[in-house]
Amino acid sequence: MSASEIIAELPNLDHQQRRAIALRLFELENEAQLLADTDRRANENFLLLDALEDEDARNKSG
- pLDDT at position 25, please? 94
- Model-level pTM greater than 0.95? no
Q: Largest Cα–Cα distance of the chain, in whole Å?
A: 73
| Beta-carbon contacts of residue 24 (< 8 Å; ≥ 6 apart) | none
17-52 pLDDT, tens digit per residue, is: 999 999 999 999 999 999 999 999 999 999 999 999
- Total number of domains in the chain: 1
The range of the structural domain enclosing residue 15 comes to 3-61
C-alpha span between 13 and 11 (Å, rounded): 5
